[in-house]
């Protein structure tokens, strides 16, 4: 399939700040209630934003990737994250639970069809959601010392929290502490885990992002839930589950944006495009992991603009 080329006039800048016109809580199980919000055009084309982490939660800036005149923008906090309750809860918190939540939210909001937008973990969840209705190498690289060669100063505090006798698997060692019966042990591990990721998420240091590692409540949800998913290998039945099922979603108009210097989710992880040549694959040469890096945010906005015009042309 021939790839569409964006016209030079297409908008690539983040849209202005907007406020939600609606927000609410949706009870999705006996335990969990998720927070959701809607902004933009109530009569617009629905788009659902799937945040990263797992456990990262949404933020107001996530609304800015979308034209508020065209899109009905739907954000929600996944189980245990952000404003969803109970906070940092791991019980009944799996990929398949989240996929069910997405469908429950779609039905609750009476959305017949929507555009799915995900970054970092959110992109994996978006693919899993699509093929349903993490690659272990990636985790080893980032949490077991590979990325330390690039960020040794950030790695040392993460490493040093764990005694040498337990450094055979940092993910397991942190899992033990993040699930300790002692709250202070949980907080210490959560701060170290979160700071490691926040210090490596940008090509150039982002102080505002790094300071999130000082917020114990944010860190606890971010680290506990993320680690929980990693220990359980994303709750996928096999490491190649998404690749094995990519045929089911090849017909969906898709844009993949990848930062060249992303150490959190290295570019090899985006190499799904080799099995999915129909997808529009874009590499940002001067960016790391974060969706808020200028080059990545420009490509993400351009992608939502491209899909906007595709939707308009199709008459939907």
**Which entry of 77, 101, 135, 262 is annotated as an active-site residue?**
262
Is 280 part of the annotated catalytic residue set? no
**Which entry of 32, 202, 228, 289 is annotated as an active-site residue?**
289
Preceding omega of 54 cis (within 30 degrees of 0): yes
**Which entry of 120, 123, 290, 297 is annotated as an active-site residue?**
120
Is 120 part of the annotated catalytic residue set? yes
**Cα separations in angstroms, 238 against 124, 126, 245:** 14, 17, 11
**Cα separations in angstroms, 178 against 31, 144, 210, 283:** 20, 17, 20, 35
Nearest CA to 134 among 256, 254, 226?
226
Euclidean distance between CA atoms 227 and 186, whole angstroms: 12
Is 87 part of the annotated catalytic residue set? no
List the strands of the sheet with 71-76, edge to edge: 22-27, 33-40, 71-76, 45-50, 115-118
Euclidean distance between CA atoms 86 and 25, whole angstroms: 12
Is the Cα dihedral 270, 273, 278, 281 positive or negative?
Answer: positive
**Cα separations in angstroms, 256 against 14, 102, 144, 238:** 18, 21, 26, 22
Q: Which residues are catalytic?
A: 120, 262, 289
């Amino acid at each position: 399939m021939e790839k569409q080329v964006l016209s030079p006039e297409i908008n690539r800048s983040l849209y202005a700040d907007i406020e939600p016109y609606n927000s609410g809580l949706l009870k999705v199980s006996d335990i969990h209630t998720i927070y959701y919000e809607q902004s933009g055009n109530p009569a617009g084309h629905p788009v659902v934003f799937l945040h990263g982490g797992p456990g990262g939660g949404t933020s107001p800036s996530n609304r800015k990737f979308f034209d508020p005149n065209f899109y009905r923008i739907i954000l929600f906090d996944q189980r245990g994250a952000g404003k969803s309750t109970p906070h940092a809860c791991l019980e009944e918190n799996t990929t398949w639970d989240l996929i069910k939540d997405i469908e429950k939210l779609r039905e609750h909001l009476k959305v017949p069809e929507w555009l799915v937008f995900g970054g970092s973990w959110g992109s994996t969840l978006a693919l899993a959601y699509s093929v349903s209705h993490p690659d272990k190498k990636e985790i080893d690289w980032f949490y077991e010392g590979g990325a330390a060669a690039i960020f040794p100063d950030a790695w040392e505090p993460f490493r040093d929290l764990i005694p040498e006798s337990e450094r055979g698997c940092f993910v397991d060692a942190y899992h033990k502490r993040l699930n300790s019966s002692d709250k202070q042990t949980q907080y210490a591990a959560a701060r170290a885990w979160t700071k490691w990721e926040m210090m490596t998420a940008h090509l150039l240091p982002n102080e505002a992002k790094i300071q999130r590692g000082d917020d114990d409540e944010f860190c606890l949800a971010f680290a506990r839930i993320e680690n929980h998913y990693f220990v359980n290998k994303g709750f996928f039945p096999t490491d190649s589950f998404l690749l094995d099922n990519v045929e089911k979603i090849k017909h969906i108009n898709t844009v993949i944006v990848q930062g060249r210097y992303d150490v959190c989710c290295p570019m090899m992880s985006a190499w799904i495009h080799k099995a999915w040549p129909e997808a529009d694959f874009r590499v940002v040469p001067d960016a790391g992991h974060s969706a808020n890096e200028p080059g990545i945010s420009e490509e993400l906005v351009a992608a939502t603009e491209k899909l906007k015009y595709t939707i308009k042309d199709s008459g939907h």
